[in-house]
Amino acid sequence: MPFFSATLPNGLTLLGEQNPAALSVSTCFWVRTGARDETPEESGLSHFLEHMVFKGTEKRDPFAVNRDFSKIGAVNNAWTSEENTVYYGTVLPEFLPQMVDVLADIMRPSLRVEDFETEKKVILDEIVRYEVQPQWGAYDHARSTYYGSHPLGNRVLGTTESVTALTQPQMRSYFDRRYGAGNILAVVTGQFDWSQYVDLIQKACSHWPTGSTGRQHRIEHCGKPEKHVLYKPADKVNQLYGTLITAAPAADSPLAYSAALLATALGDYAGSRLFWALVDSGLAEEASMDLDECDASGAYWISFSASPENGEQNLGIVQKILDDVQKNGLTRDELEKTRTKILSREVRASERSSSRMSIVAKDWVYRNQYRTVDDELKAWDAVSLDSIREVLDRYPINQPTICLYGPEA
């Protein structure tokens, strides 16, 4: 599939992967900013700003924004993480000009004071809704415990206190600092004409200021092998949530593919060691292991949820699995079965323009390169028992930070 790239004079990077066989086109503005880029006084601003982007511009009020997405049949949305904020949409190819027009317009929001105060109430309500969901409480507890003062421990939503204290001038300052053209990618995948796309982006975005770029505090974090328990009343939380976190390769590490395959073999939602030991046996409702690949630092997240009386037993089983793999690695059969599973998922994802949009953007943001589907498949094929052994030697998995959240047994 042909790949294209360009950079506008103001620093905005354009990427395109063309698939003539695709029946749709996906495009996004990928902003390299998230919760880790906030000061303590700005906690929650990245996510708050994501909401505000849809509250209107000089050209469109909120109703017009939604109307103009709807009338072209767009599947559109946005999301915010610790490191990125992304605004995206998928449409039929003939509607790409309208999609770019609306997306580019909302990237320069009005940020009106009255909208700010109204949306703040929405955000505060969202925080409350998340706080009463035990799985999110467990996640926040584990993340803040593991990372401590490291910026990757910042909460995406912020807290009730931090969001209440935020002001519209703070948001304007953060927007001017982090939403400059030099900190944004415009990505398009699927069926499109590259020359037309470049013209559309130039017309809509060439006036954007360059802004500042880069990220501070790019430090690898390694947690301590400690156990933390946060008890909750049984009438509020009826399951015990266990989270074990340990250091892993960063997103741009040559070992990232080996680390991801290891995590899939141990904690995929089906057919993994944790699945067979905890879920299939009925000891836990769910169990997983994921690789959280971040800028300059990575982490394995091992999680399970179960009845409180099974908590310590499950914890012991997980620790036994981690000790065994740390000592003996994966078996050849595990390696090949997991590789086949991953390759199948990669190929199926490549058939969707929206999936390729995210993959192309992430490869550029974290690896500063474009990788074809074949490149991705070759990278998975290159994973070996030796490379997994190297990951385990450099990032031991059996000395995790353990966080338990829920009622006493």
CA distances from 113 to 102, 117, 170, 276 (A): 22, 6, 11, 53
Q: Running DSSP on this structure, what letter comes out for residue 276?
A: I
Q: Residue 76 belongs to what H/E stretch? A: strand 75-80
Beta bridge partners of 402: 227, 244
CA–CA separation, 85 and 202 (whole Å): 21
Q: Is 44 helix (H, G, I), strand (E, B) or coil?
A: coil
Catalytic residue among 17, 38, 50, 119: 50
Cβ of 203: how many Cβ atoms within 10 Å? Answer: 13
* 190 burial type by CB count under 10 A (0-12 exposed, 13-18 middle, 19+ buried): buried
Q: For strand 13-18 and strand 25-31, is the pairing parallel, antiparallel, or unpaired?
A: unpaired
Q: Running DSSP on this structure, what letter comes out for residue 95?
A: G
Cβ of 317: how many Cβ atoms within 10 Å? Answer: 20
Chain position carrying tokens 């969001």: 163
Cβ(83)–Cβ(71) below 8 Å:
no
* DSSP codes joined into one string, 323-357: HHHHHH---HHHHHHHHHHHHHHHHHHHTSHHHHH
- Listing from the earlier edge strand, what are the strands of the sheet with 286-293? 227-231, 401-406, 240-248, 298-306, 286-293
CA–CA separation, 335 and 171 (whole Å): 47
Cβ(68)–Cβ(49) below 8 Å:
no
Q: Running DSSP on this structure, what letter comes out for residue 279?
A: I
Q: Is 4 helix (H, G, I), strand (E, B) or coil?
A: strand
CA–CA separation, 223 and 220 (whole Å): 10
- The answer to whether residue 376 is catalytic is no
Q: For strand 240-248 and strand 401-406, is the pairing parallel, antiparallel, or unpaired?
A: antiparallel
Q: Which of 236, 216, 241 is nearest to 154 (CA)?
A: 216
Q: Is 133 helix (H, G, I), strand (E, B) or coil?
A: coil
Q: Running DSSP on this structure, what letter comes out for residue 278?
A: I
The tokens for 396 are 């031991």
Could you list the active site residues? 50
